[in-house]
Chain A
């Protein structure tokens, strides 16, 4: 993609080098496992081999007696957290669940559930110690599939869970935690007005975020306080969780985020971190815990597998009259599938009058689900976009045209009542139609698929500090682990504001004790919310600098303006003063009032949603069912691409993860509920040679609520690929596919069953 000529800004929208680039490509950057402290112990976790069992007893005495073992913990070493009162919003953590997930109490609820942990002087001793821990289990019947888990005779995971809204005293325990629902208009009326109604069922499998860096942390503890170094998407949120789970004061814990080798939502929850702290407290030595890949797959965040039923009605002219969606999502061992986000987003690329969506949040004997890019949305969108593609074919309307007819625009209200500001969906669909990919010829056994997607984005709390050094260079301090190049974007916006060279701004990610609370690196919020905090901090620093210039010139503050990196007299009447650069003002700071800095503490609102649409060509080997992805183009309204390189990276990465989800990735369980493929050999993420170059076509419709128009870009690109890829396969072989993954055995069988 050639750069669009951007004359408006000097640094924003430019392909600036990454401030963290050299260290990352030369291996100097410290990831979660890269910290070594004197006297550090190795922590290891004993995990349940059963999907569901009662823990009758745990005997750790032999492990404790082994030479070199410095501490052993079970759930008895952590405070028991009472059941929280009342219903739980989806964004609020249930710390009792978190505690029981971190270390099983009475029951183990999935293969891989932690039951004990040890800290020892070497990895070898730690592993030996695990083998010496005796756990007496009473194995219980288990349930893996959410539809099965909803049946009346299904094994119950939590005896004290009744479906939300029912009477806790009289209702029977249930694996269904909630049935959230949202409506707009009147779907019955809408379906009655339709000329064609299509209703289909879809399934998707649980898939893992697949970050390359396993979870890792180092904890150190004394009576003075706790230090935690870990790979995380939110050091502040981790700090709060650890405090709650360990019964400590929040300010006694300092969490430093390491560099992060991928998270995608999976490094939001805490797992080993509180365990490492507890071990370090008991052993009085630092403890490092690093998960193996096997542990990552068995016990950390996949996203929900889902059963989705979608019904859409449309008139002959393509106008959609009503849309309905029912979702059954695996929550895993504890409640909390992302149904709310799915309801919010699944129909939201479209301007629809009548919508009804609801879902079941179902506990099953699998690891508790974690967020995964646009959490909850891809599974629902797979169904929605699949039905829309089928509608288009049935109505004889081009797939893009059908979407254009129903496209959301400024003023559209979605099912949650959110009214859109400027939104680039129509413009993007027009761009797609005009793109050379759209009409490129296809060969034999080749097919083209497309689908759209939407993500709402998050705002929330962020802090930033801009500290000006006496040479005029700047340290920018903010609190979000940099996953996708956010340091570069923050630095670009601050350089733009201050009017100084991008390379004179050094962005630093703060630990939890050196800057105020900053919410997660998640929800595509960082460049939007923390970016806003950085801009405000820079503007506050400018205010201070102008004030100092005013002092030196003997004029009032209002008589000084900041332009092009210099304090200047606001007008001719202010007097004839040489403009002063930031460096010149900073050099005089000791004489004019001390250090020059600007700070911001904000709760950002006004995030703009982002829509995207993907176009993909595949070739199917009809004899083997093998799918080759030939060409892929991502279209997305990115608001404003502060760092186009890293925005493209986000769009490409989302597409690749979606391709894996569509074609081969799946959690496979045996009949005892044990995960059969906890490694990258049999859990098949795409390898580099599996995907073509992912082309990117960015549409920039700025978000008016952000100083530089940022929308956030990271989640939307994982929403369309599943439906787009399946649609391409459908197009290549002339059959419909509604169960993911569309893997070779499924394709081959479908072709054979159809007589091919």
Chain B
């Protein structure tokens, strides 16, 4: 552990400048529930911590163009307390609320979950399914990036030097839409996803699926957007055949590893099982 400096700037430009100026030895500190653990185990040894929690944009939830802009450092507990957000995006909120425990919920953020770039991050498949877009602020200004394009591998992101995720935008959805997220863990909580599936879908007046997005976690180096799985649902009323196709497409998209958290066979199998369950929850929610 090296000597560590701590800065808590009040605007994004200052934070970005500090980050760019530190030559890779700085880390953004949101809730710290990943970062502090990694520092304790010498996985990362930053010399500068840039706390972004004093920056208003990262701490607010605001309605925008019929959708929601969620600050990257808003803790999970506050997501659940926002009734409008929870009603509009129940799947994203339930995914974020699965993170850790009550204590961890007081800190853990969507931005941290995304930028930590763990393939097993719970909120990410749900955000991918939601079509969420990250607003990235950097030395060269601002850009909007689809959530599925942030992580490039375990612990790696596409963020350039000095870039920070300021907020995450959850777009407006048509009426009769619903989303859901489920993960498989051997225990009931305080565990890491062996597989995670998020699905968002929209129905027409007859209950036929008109649009769908399927996000899949913990079965590949990054969380995946699985178009083939969405295609299995679109045009169907989620009948048995569509569900079979969904499960098959999800399983086919899996390229997991055999590790202490599960075998290839098990993960691939469970991904399909979860996808069916998630789809039917999202379907029920959309029909309400």
A residues whose Cβ falls under 8 Å from a Cβ of B: 123-124, 127, 294, 623-626, 663-664, 668, 676-677, 680-682, 684, 686-687, 689-690, 743-745, 748-749, 752
Q: Which of A124, A663, A681, A748 touches B270 (beta carbons < 8 Å)?
A: A748
Q: Are B192 and A681 in contact (CB under 8 A)?
A: yes
Complex CA distance for A676 and B259, rounded to whole angstroms: 9
Q: Report the bound CA distance from A749 to B188 in whole Å.
A: 21
Q: Shortest Cβ distance from B193 into chain A, in angstroms?
A: 12
Q: Which residues from chain B contact A123 at a C-beta distance below 8 Å?
A: 1
Which chain B residues border A624 with CB–CB below 8 Å?
Answer: 184, 270, 273-274
Roughly how many angstroms separate A626 CA and B266 CA in the complex, as a whole number? 12
Q: Is the CB of B1 within 8 A of A682?
A: no
Are B261 and A682 touching (Cβ within 8 A)? yes
Given A127-B1, A623-B273, A624-B270, decide whether A681 and B191 contact each other with a Cβ distance below 8 A.
Answer: yes
Whether A686 and B187, one on each chain, are in contact in the complex, defined by CB atoms closer than 8 angstroms, is: yes
**From residue B217, how far is it (CB to closest CB) to chain A in Å?**
16
Name B261's closest neighbour in chain A (CB-CB): A682
Q: Which residue of B lies closest to A660 (CB)?
A: B187
Which A residues are in CB contact (< 8 Å) with B1?
A: 123-124, 127
* Interface hits, B255-277 → A, CB 8 Å: 259-263, 265-266, 269-270, 273-274
Q: Residue B186 contacts which of A127, A626, A676, A677 (CB distance < 8 angstroms)?
A: A626
- Interface positions, chain B 171-193, Cβ under 8 Å from A, are 184, 186-192
Bitwise, B126-144 to A at CB < 8 A (1) or not (0) is: 0000000000000000000
Query: Could you tell me the distance between the alpha carbons of A509 and B266 in the complex, rounded to whole angstroms?
Result: 51
Residue of B nearest to A745 (CB): B266
With a cutoff of 8 Å between Cβ atoms, the chain A residues found around residue B269 in the complex are 748, 752
- How far, in whole Å, are A752 and B192 apart by their CA atoms in the complex? 24
Could you say which residues of chain A place their CB within 8 Å of the CB of B273? 623-624
Query: Please, which residues of chain A bring their CB within 8 A of the CB of B261?
Result: 682
Interface residues of B (CB under 8 A from A): 1, 41-42, 184, 186-192, 259-263, 265-266, 269-270, 273-274
Starting from the known contacts A624-B274, A681-B191, A687-B190, 8 additional A-B residue pairs (CB-CB under 8 Å) come to A294-B41, A624-B270, A626-B184, A676-B260, A682-B192, A684-B187, A743-B186, A744-B184
Neighbouring B residues of A690 by C-beta, 8 Å:
187-188
Let me know if B260 and A748 touch, CB within 8 A. no
Whether B186 pairs with A663 at a CB distance below 8 angstroms is yes
Q: Residues of B contacting A744 with CB < 8 Å?
A: 184, 186, 266
- Please report the C-alpha to C-alpha distance between residue A294 and residue B263 in the assembled complex, in whole angstroms: 24
Chain A residue numbers with a CB within 8 Å of B259 are: 676
CB distance from B223 to the nearest CB of A (A): 19
Least CB distance from A20 to B in Å reads: 26
CA distance A123 to B269 in the complex (A): 46
Least Cβ–Cβ distance between A293 and chain B, in angstroms: 10
CA distance A748 to B79 in the complex (A): 35
Q: How many Å from the CB of A665 to the closest CB on chain B?
A: 10
How many contacts A-B (CB < 8 Å)?
55
Q: Which residues of B contact A127 (CB under 8 A)?
A: 1, 42
Q: Nearest-CB distance from A120 to chain B (Å)? A: 13
With contacts A682-B260, A682-B261 taken as known, whether A664 is within 8 angstroms of B187 at the C-beta atoms is: yes
Q: In the bound complex, do residue A668 and residue B266 qualify as a contact, i.e. CB atoms below 8 Å apart?
A: no
CB <8 Å contact, B189 and A689: yes
Which 5 A/B pairs are nearest by Cβ-Cβ distance? A745-B266, A689-B188, A623-B273, A668-B260, A676-B260
Can you offer 9 A-B residue contacts whose CB atoms are under 8 A? A294-B41, A625-B266, A663-B186, A664-B187, A684-B186, A684-B191, A687-B187, A745-B262, A749-B266
CB distance from A601 to the nearest CB of B (A): 47
The interface residues of chain A lying within 8 Å CB-to-CB of B263 are 745
Question: Is A687 a contact of B189 with CB atoms below 8 Å?
Answer: yes
Closest to A685 in B: B187
A629 to chain B, nearest CB (A): 10
Bound state CA distance, A498 and B196, in angstroms?
A: 63
Chain A: which residue is nearest B265 at the CB level?
A: A749
- Checking B41, B42, B189, B266 against A748 with a beta-carbon cut-off of 8 angstroms, the contacting residue is B266
Assembled-state Cα–Cα distance A615/B189 (Å) = 25
Alpha-carbon gap, A677 to B192, bound state (A) = 13
Residue of chain A at shortest CB distance from B277: A623
- Residues in B with CB closer than 8 Å to A625 are 266
Give Cα A680–Cα B190 distance, bound, in whole angstroms: 9
Give CA–CA (A689, B191) in the complex, Å.
12
In whole angstroms, what is the CA distance A185 to B189 when docked? 51
Cα A686 to Cα B186 with chains together (Å): 10
Q: Please measure, in the bound complex, the distance between the C-alpha atom of A123 and the C-alpha atom of B41, giving whole angstroms.
A: 13
Q: How far is the CA of A690 from the CA of B188 in the complex (A)?
A: 6
Give the Cβ gap from A743 to chain B, nearest Cβ, in Å: 6
Q: Which residue of B lies closest to A123 (CB)?
A: B1
Q: Are A664 and B186 in contact (CB under 8 A)?
A: yes
Complex interface: chain B residues within 8 A of A745 (CB): 262-263, 265-266
Most chain A beta carbons < 10 A, residue from B42, B263, B265, B270: B270
User: How far is A257 from B190 in the complex, measured between Cα atoms in Å?
Assistant: 32
**A730 to B273 alpha-carbon distance, docked (Å):** 22
Expressed in whole angstroms, the Cα–Cα distance for A663 and B187 within the complex equals 9
Determine which residue in A624, A625, A677 has the highest number of CB atoms from chain B within 10 A of its CB, and name it. A624
Contact present for A687 and B184 (CB under 8 Å)? no
Closest to B188 in A: A689
The residue in chain A whose Cβ has the minimal distance to the Cβ of B274 is A624
**When chains A and B are docked, how far (Å) is the Cα of A553 from the Cα of B199?**
90
Q: In the bound complex, how far is the Cα of B184 from the Cα of A687, in angstroms?
A: 16
Closest to B272 in A: A623
Q: How far is the CB of B151 from chain A (nearest CB, A)?
A: 20
Q: With the chains together, A625 CA to B273 CA distance in Å?
A: 11
Contacts of B274 in A (CB 8 A): 624
Q: Which A residue sits closest to B194, measured CB to CB?
A: A744
- Inside 8 A of B184's CB, which chain A residues have their CB? 624, 626, 744
CB distance from B262 to the nearest CB of A (A): 6
- A684 → chain B closest CB, angstroms: 6
Q: How far is the CA of A680 from the CA of B187 in the complex (A)?
A: 12
CB distance from B142 to the nearest CB of A (A): 36
| Contact of A677 with B265 in the complex, beta carbons under 8 Å | no
Instruction: Give the chain B neighbours of A663 by CB distance below 8 A.
Output: 186
